[in-house]
Structure 1
Amino acid sequence: MSNKDQFNEIALTTTENLAKEFLLGTATSFLDELAKAIPFASSALALSTAYSNFKTAQEKRQLLAFIQEIEINKPDFINKFFKDKNNTELGLEILGILDQTYLEKQARMIGRVTILLKNLVISKQEFDKYTYIITKLNNHLITIIKELHQASKDATHSTFHFPSPNMDLISFEFLVEVENNRKFTTQSNYQRTEFFYYFYENIFKD
């Protein structure tokens, strides 16, 4: 069994146990369950006070999705991350960011951007920008982002004519307005940015 399959099996077992806990009202805490099911998670107990905010099923699901995404892509990363006292402040910050999300896809994206930061691929300032965008996403915006990327495959050029583009895409710097050379039209021209493509390929895409 591969590491990915093994971890998925562990994660599924943990999720099933959590479901039983919520449905049957048992007193077993999430941290105890996680520590028993996933050995490396026990090292994260040093930040147990921070985990006290993760009391609902949704928050626990987000935390598990975050850990699973990181461990699948970079085995033993979580164990080393939480053992390093230098990561305490960042660890608390990440927990706060996860607390602002509700979709598992958001938690997985936060996992990916955390790896990019710790591998020195992106700066802390870029990390802050990416996580800000991630916390603002919802199912509607996720669908629009997918469609925007798909359009780049279908279009013969990268300029689009939008009567009223989604303003979030502009504020995220996924689209930038360009000069409109067409006469007798009030529509604006927009291009997808390199920032958008990087975000999609390295953080957004599952």
Structure 2
Amino acid sequence: MTKLDITKTNRAIENLLETTENPRHRFMLQAYYRHRYLEIAGRYEEIFAPEMMVENPVYHFHALGLNVRLEGQDAIKNLYREWSETGECVMYADDEEVAVSDHMIASKLTGYQFKPGKVLAAVGIDVDDENAMYIYKASEEMVWPYDDRCRLVGEDVWEVDPDKAEIIKLDPADVITASDARTMLEPLIKPLPPYDEAAMRPRATAR
């Protein structure tokens, strides 16, 4: 397998931004874009900035044979920290479709996540080398809810047809480390624009 170009992970978001004029929707898409690249780069602490995330977010993951609910910034930080340490923060999205509304971003994609062999073995997946790095490839659907101030409320992530997931062993030359990802994505991680409360008020409460 050739090395994935993680700098193209957000291209569906970029394409949608080209045709999105609503200032609220544009801000949310830019926050979504920034969040994903910060996560992949292992810069997870920046995701929890008060202008990006609510004080008590809730995540639901139904993927990789897991059914997990994480509530609160500390629990979610622990997950991101673990992923950064193991290299699982490195992800790639392909064939993605993204939609945005006043309080939600929805996405359908083929996801690729780096997984150490020992992590896969720990959840009961048979691998031939626990010291190798693998890719977990699966169809996913995601809904990310946002509050009135365009801050992330949580993530709801589903794996579609888990039986069809692929486990791909990587050649060492094709492994992207968290450090590699940080270097590759740094030029693409831009600050959010200022929040304009009047322009970004949701339609339901607009005056």
TM-score normalized by the length of structure 1: 0.25
Q: 1 or 2, which has the higher helix percentage?
A: 1
TM-score, structure 2 as length reference: 0.25
- Structure with a larger share of its residues in strand: 2
Determine which structure has more spread, i.e. the larger CA radius of gyration.
Answer: 1
